[in-house]
């Protein structure tokens, strides 16, 4: 079997709020409880396992999406009045980037920097 990422733990202050929010924004199925976690399954058989913690260390999670999914996710971000940026340094608000000939943007719910991209980095024109 090839090495594959199966799951990662997402530390949050409130999994009951954060897991459903991320699932909804990304257009994924509602989270499922598993032990102390709320599990959000993404489409490549990887799960985000949300757990409550007292001390939060910010992480970065990037999701590869289709052009149509990008538009749908962006619409949900805008509908909720969330701030988003074209860059991880938050210097280009309400924009998206066109790195590698695709589109990408960042937003920051639950203390973590999330990103959606339509082309993997290094796959096209920079």
Count CB neighbours of 5 within 10 A: 9
Long-range contacts of 83-87 (CB under 8 A, 24+ apart): 83/107, 83/108
* Model confidence pLDDT, tens digit, residues 7-64: 999 999 999 999 999 999 999 999 999 999 999 999 999 999 999 999 999 999 999 9
Expressed in angstroms, the distance from the first to the final Cα of the chain is: 34
**Does the structural domain 58-126 have CATH classification 3.10.180.10?**
yes
pTM score of the predicted model: 0.92
CATH topology of domain 1-56: 3.30.720
Q: Which residues contact 113 (CB under 8 A, 6 or more apart)?
A: 58, 59, 60, 61, 88, 106, 107
* Model confidence pLDDT, tens digit, residues 61-118: 999 999 999 999 999 999 999 999 999 999 999 999 999 999 999 999 878 999 999 9
Domain locations along the chain:
1-56, 58-126
């Amino acid at each position: 079997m090839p090495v594959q990422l199966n799951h990662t733990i997402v530390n949050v202050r409130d999994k009951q709020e954060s897991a459903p929010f991320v699932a909804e924004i990304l257009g994924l199925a509602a989270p499922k409880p598993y032990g102390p976690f709320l599990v959000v399954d993404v489409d490549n058989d990887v799960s985000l396992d949300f757990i409550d913690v007292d001390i939060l260390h910010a992480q970065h999670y990037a999701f590869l999406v289709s052009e149509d999914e990008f538009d749908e996710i962006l619409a949900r971000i805008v509908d909720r009045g969330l701030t988003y940026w074209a860059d991880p340094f938050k210097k280009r608000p309400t924009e998206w980037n066109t790195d590698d000939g695709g589109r990408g943007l960042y937003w920051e719910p639950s203390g973590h920097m999330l990103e959606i991209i339509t082309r993997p980095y290094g796959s096209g024109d920079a």
